[in-house]
Structure 1
Amino acid sequence: MSVDSPSLDPSLRLSSRMAGLRSSAIRDLLTFTARPEVISLAGGLPAVELVPRERIARAAQRALGDPRSVQYGETSGWAPLRETVASRESDAVGRRLDSSEVVITHGSQQALSLLAQVLLDPGDTVVVEEPGYTGALQAFGAAQAALVPVALDADGMDTAVLEEALTEGLRPKVVHTVSNFHNPRGVVLSAQRREHLASLADRYGFWIIEDDPYGELWFDAPAPAPVAAHSDRVLRLSSGSKTLAPALRVGWLHGDRRVCEAVELIKQGTDLCGSSLTQRIATELLDDGAWLDTHLATVRGAYAARSGALIRALESAFGERLSHTEVFGGMFCWIEFTDGCDTTRLLERAIEHDVAFVPGGAFGVAKGHPHAARLCFATYDSAALVEGVDRLRRAYDAHLRTPWSATGH
């Protein structure tokens, strides 16, 4: 479902960085999944009924009482929000951060894109996870980096494999990790590997981008301390999109002050500044600790129940034909068909049955993951998820009945 970038016809005069770029398979599915009859397990969309719209409305009204909320703001973000983020992240990493070490961005994806521009020259090596987060693959691809994948297992990135590659001469500029409730695999980087990864960064001098939009969405217990707790060579990203509301478009990064200053400089040429209004709204919500704790507990409980409903439905519908990762938090479940089912072809049948998912190939770097898929359990309630799996099973049965060669593909 992905498409290549426009061909580099000289008459178009597009830049060389457009060569080889692919549109996100998830973005490409949005037109289909916008239809109300479709159950989309594809996009990483929070449940709209859990977005605190009334609380946001009250905060917006208060923010609009100040005329500065509709004016241009600082490129690095509204100062009180940077102070709030610095305080919250100080608690997470176990050392005091200054607000000058924080930049507010238009979602954490912008932070990733800006860091790619700041840190990378064409041809620089970036270590990514296999399978990898599509937004990171796009950002690093646009920076014309050379991607080197390191496999994931149940404990996250295999840092022993990374160390072996480093001892053999690999010299990355950046290592990217989605440390908590990985997108797409759903796994958590273990505490031991977090310390190991940080020690490798200190020894070999690369930057770690710790991408953590899902860390607050734990079910039974929080994830281990961030990688940033173990090294000052970590640039840590997070966002309010998954916990407050995607439409606020409030994300942030923190790390080395010199990198933050460089990010701010590049950001001036990108959007001048973010939304003063939504940053003020986000500040009020993040500062209201009692309300936020209750809100997050509600979201965690709902997502835990939904993940359980999805997994039970998958096990009932497919039995031993399918395996899945254990889900401890976040929004995603990674599945693999053990009978050789090609999920890219299965998606065509699934669309005919008004259900969607993302084939594993969309996340591949060096591997195709042809029998895997990512399912999001956050968007729908348990009953809809069960119905979605039933549609998926019917699509699977239709796929088995009709040999692919007979469809003309």
Structure 2
Amino acid sequence: MISTPRPWHDLSLIERQARAAQQGTRPTWDLSEALLRGLPTSTGRVEFRAESYPDPQGQRDLRRRIAARENEKYGLSLTEDHIVVTHGATEALFLLAHTFLDPGDRVAVQAPSFLFYREILENLGAGLVPLHAASDGARPARMRLLHSPSNPDGLVLAEGALSLHAEAARADGALLVLDQVYDELIVGGTRPQEEQALLDSGLVAKVNSVSKAFGCPGVRIGWISTSPALAEVLTGVAERLRMGPSLVAQHAAAGLLEHPVDGNLPLLAERRALAVEALPALGLFEAAAPPPGGLFLWLKLADPDVSAQQFCDRALAEAGVRLMPGLGFWEGTDDRVRLSFGATPDYLRTALDRLGRLTAPPLRSGADLTPACGRV
């Protein structure tokens, strides 16, 4: 008898919302519009050869463009040999975990954090602990995972913090992984510089993609920046898991990297200000300082007796506004809500107006997520 496969997990709230939102017809995400207008187009042949499998490390031209952008942002001297192209940042994280972790290993994770970290790591048999507990117990963490700007709270690592984290990882014999998928979207702070020696040491692996900053999650191209020696190891592992990222997607990503997103930062800062200035009048959340990076506000509910999970269910069912409750994140709490300010100004104003109209009867749990999910 064939045994029934163990499911990874039930559909999470964010997955149910994303599937239902596909029923909507109006876009809410437009950060890529100017970039896409500037991409070269052709009605003739696609300008790459597809007769053979892609380079498992990624096409050389794309890796050079990625390295050039990393160097510009962080004062580094990377070459294409420091870069491994992946099928999005999710595959990059999976590849690192698959290469370095054994079942039962511990991973110290910056909290609160995006739920996919937990999904990837736990389904490979690893256990998650908060970053401050990395060296507790008989077995130090085998990997440390940071994210900057962080999701959900938008915090950015301070200058010199990466070096301190790397030294702590070195002491435990751990790999330090830094997720930087929002690092093009630092609107209220300074991007910290990095040390070339850290990348060349093989102690650090950085993860990024075109999904968030370029507003193109459908392209599905990410990358790992690390030492050439570690990049070679990761390429060998990746080649045995898949033949290489799509050439079509790599071609699109190379075009996007010709157009840095710095011009979108004033637009994003304006939307962040719009949301921050409107929130006090709602009376739903405690006062919040604008985050230095990312696309989100990490808000604490003003009423301590209100469940964030139930509040988000109600906002979705009664107002058509999609929010993420704190418990949707690893080490998140049920008094927190994540609100995105990356949508168009009209959508933001409509969503905030609808939230302001919510009355205060007892909150209902288990509200159907489907009917109103695509509205805002």
The one-character-per-residue Cα deviations of 1:90-123 (angstroms, maximum 9, x if unpaired) are 4445443332221111111110111111111101
**Aligned pairs for 1:9-408 within 5 A:** 11-14=2-5, 18=7, 21-36=9-24, 46-47=29-30, 50=33, 52-56=35-39, 58=40, 60-61=41-42, 64-68=45-49, 72-150=53-131, 161=132, 166=135, 171-180=140-149, 182-226=150-194, 230=198, 232=201, 233-244=203-214, 245-286=216-257, 288=258, 292-293=259-260, 296-318=261-283, 321-340=285-304, 341-352=306-317, 353-365=319-331, 369-378=333-342, 380-395=343-358, 397=359, 400-402=360-362, 404=364
Taking structure 2 as the reference length, the TM-score comes to 0.86
The one-character-per-residue Cα deviations of 1:178-222 (angstroms, maximum 9, x if unpaired) are 122x11111112224323212212322211110001111122443
Which structure 1 residue ranges, 5 or more long, are not aligned? 1-9, 40-44, 151-160
Q: Give RMSD over aligned pairs.
A: 2.9
Deviation at 1:264, TM superposition (A): 2.0
**Count of residue pairs the alignment pairs up:** 362
Determine if contact 1:127/1:172 at 8 Å carries over to the other structure: yes
Which residue is equivalent to 1:6? none
DSSP 3-state at the match of 1:121: coil
Once residues 392 and 70 of structure 1 are traced to their aligned partners in structure 2, the CA distance between those partners, rounded to angstroms, is 53
Q: Percent identity among equivalent residues?
A: 24
Determine if contact 1:185/1:325 at 8 Å carries over to the other structure: no
Deviation at 1:281, TM superposition (A): 3.2
1:107/1:406 CA distance change after superposition, 3 Å:
closer
The one-character-per-residue Cα deviations of 1:254-301 (angstroms, maximum 9, x if unpaired) are 213343233223322433111212312322442x4xxx24xx233111
1:63/1:22 CA distance change after superposition, 3 Å:
farther
Determine if contact 1:63/1:281 at 8 Å carries over to the other structure: no
Letter of the structure 1 residue corresponding to residue 291 of structure 2: V
Letter of the structure 1 residue corresponding to residue 221 of structure 2: V
Deviation at 1:230, TM superposition (A): 4.5
Taking structure 1 as the reference length, the TM-score comes to 0.79
